[in-house]
Amino acid sequence: MAILKIEHLGIAVKDVSKSKDIFQRLLGANFYKEETVESEGVNTVFYQLGESKLELLEATNESSSIAKYLEKNREGIHHLAVAVDDIHAEMGRLKKQGFVFINEEPKAGADNKLIAFIHPKSSNGILLELCQDLD
């Protein structure tokens, strides 16, 4: 029961089509997955970088957390995601340590993951996402 590795870095973008081109040229690699997560109001694009990934996030509606983030901030790093093997156990461990979660229960996320977010107010200003593979 612990954090296993950095799973991905989430990057908020205004226009995922434009950003795909920039990141493909920057990384010298094509994205491996494009997905819409209706429940979160985002379009996502993933790039594999060794054992870690980059996720581009574009809002699909004005109430999306990405739309709200971009109202206050410039495009850029939105969250850090870490892989865990048992999200329920890890949430319990972290809650006992005083960390506050945005969602009390894990939910389905992009890239076939079960996810939960720690509120930045309890994690030194970083939005931290716990990710568990659903496979």
pLDDT for 119: 96
How far apart are alpha carbons 117 and 91 in whole angstroms? 10
How far apart are alpha carbons 52 and 9 in whole angstroms? 8
pLDDT for 135: 78
DSSP of 51-82: TEEEEEEEESSTTSHHHHHHHHS-SEEEEEEE
β-partners of residue 1 are none
How far apart are alpha carbons 24 and 47 in whole angstroms? 9
Phi-psi region of 125 (alpha: psi -120 to 50; beta: other; left: phi over 0): left
The H or E element spanning position 114 is strand 113-118
How far apart are alpha carbons 36 and 43 in whole angstroms? 4
Contact assessment for residue 67 and residue 59, using Cβ atoms and an 8 Å cutoff: yes
Q: What is the pTM of this model?
A: 0.90
pLDDT for 11: 97
Domain coordinates of the chain in residue numbers?
Answer: 3-133
pLDDT for 2: 83
pLDDT for 1: 63
pLDDT values of the chain reduced to their tens digit, one per residue, 135 residues: 688 999 999 999 999 999 999 999 999 999 999 999 999 999 999 999 999 999 999 999 999 999 999 999 999 999 999 999 999 999 999 999 999 999 999 999 999 999 999 999 999 999 999 999 997
Task: Locate all alpha helices (DSSP H) within 1-135, ordered by sequence.
Answer: 16-27, 65-72, 87-96
Domain 3-133 has CATH 2.40.160.10: no
